[in-house]
Amino acid sequence: MTESAGGFEDPPAEVLAAAAAAFGLLASSARLHLMWALSQGECDVTHLADRVGGALPAVSQHLAKLKLAGLVRSRREGRRQVYYIDDPDVVTLVRVMVGQLTARSQQASAPVHRLRGIGG
């Protein structure tokens, strides 16, 4: 690891690669919407699909990817699969990012600008 000007050590390449992969998953507006919903509290897949306006199979696939990445977890309650985020830092990250962009979009002087070349 190398030290930066701020006194913090740079993380290893493996950590940066894992972080990039996690951010890559969140680059999908559908998955980010699911993360936003789950940052408000646990929910089953049917209610999540209704909330985000997605088809149940597509929402299930998005949740499976988020689960494989370790961003969400699930537990079975009878026949329902309930999803949740158990890492408070992930909840904070999602809430801060979406909250800041929402606040900016509501200010006439600072609209949210979409980056060119970035899909969502």
pLDDT (tens digit per residue) in 8-53 = 899 999 999 988 998 999 999 999 999 999 999 999 999 999 999 9
Please state which architecture CATH assigns to domain 26-102: Orthogonal Bundle (1.10)
Give the pTM: 0.79
Backbone angles phi, psi at 92, to 5 degrees: -60, -45
For the chain, the structural domain boundaries read 26-102
Q: Which tokens sit at 97?
A: 């990012």
How many distinct helices (H) and strands (E) make up the chain?
5, 3
105, pLDDT greater than 60: yes
Q: What is the mean pLDDT of residues 58-69?
A: 95
By percentage, how much of the chain surpasses pLDDT 70?
A: 85
Counting Cα atoms < 13 Å in the Cβ hemisphere of 32 gives: 15
C-alpha distances out from residue 114 to 17, 57, 120, Å: 24, 28, 10
CA-to-CA distance for 56 and 48, rounded, in angstroms? Answer: 9
